[in-house]
Amino acid sequence: MQGGLEFKTEIELLSRVHHKNLVSLLGFCFEQGEQMLVYEYIPNGTLMGSVSGKSGIRLDWMGRLKVTLGTARGLVYLHEHANPPIIHRDIKSNNILLDESFNAKVADFGLSTSKFDSERNSVTTQVKGTLASI
């Protein structure tokens, strides 16, 4: 379960961004301490699952290129067209979802911050995101 701040951040950010390469938030519920986010259904799992073959779907190189370009388009939208711009801070293959046509959808905005917030706190010693594994 997400912490309260991550939950609130994700609701605030996703309610004001709309792009074909970003997962769409349909609704949320916060009742009696229970938190729930309701997203559009994304049927083909994560990029990690398709690259590793664990999802039963294996992307060829053209499919991987399509996903990479879609992910980049979603990030460009966040960085350059969202108002204020948004920094995701946790891009990884498990946070890239694949729709029915294998288009990339950037997901998991719980650690995101607006560029406005990050400029006010431009120096940080706190690690954000997921640590890489070897």
Q: For 21-54, what is each residue's pLDDT tens digit? A: 999 999 999 899 899 989 999 999 999 999 888 8
108 belongs to the catalytic site: no
pTM score: 0.78
What is the tally of structural domains in the chain? 1
The pLDDT assigned to 40 comes to 95
DSSP output for 18-71: --TTBPPEEEEEEETTEEEEEE---TT-BHHHHHHSTTS----HHHHHHHHHHH
Q: Which domain holds residue 72?
A: 4-110
Residues 6+ apart with CB under 8 A from 86: 13, 17, 78, 79, 109, 112, 113, 114, 115
The pLDDT assigned to 109 comes to 77
Is 123 within the bounds of a domain?
A: no
Is 60 within the bounds of a domain?
A: yes
Is 75 within the bounds of a domain?
A: yes
The pLDDT assigned to 102 comes to 96
Q: In the chain, which stretches have pLDDT less than 50?
A: 120-128, 131, 133-134
Reduce the DSSP state of residue 80 to 3 states and report it.
helix
**Strands 25-31 and 96-98, bridge-based pairing:** unpaired
The pLDDT assigned to 122 comes to 45
The pLDDT assigned to 120 comes to 46
Among the listed residues 60, 90, 99, 108, the single catalytic one is: 90
The pLDDT assigned to 132 comes to 53
Q: Using alpha carbons, select from 42, 22, 38, 41 the residue that is nearest to residue 30.
A: 38
Is 130 within the bounds of a domain?
A: no
CA-CA distance, 129 to 95, in Å (whole number)?
A: 11
| DSSP H or E segment with residue 98 | strand 96-98
The pLDDT assigned to 115 comes to 58
The pLDDT assigned to 63 comes to 94
Is 116 within the bounds of a domain?
A: no
| CATH number for 43 | 1.10.510.10
Is 18 within the bounds of a domain?
A: yes
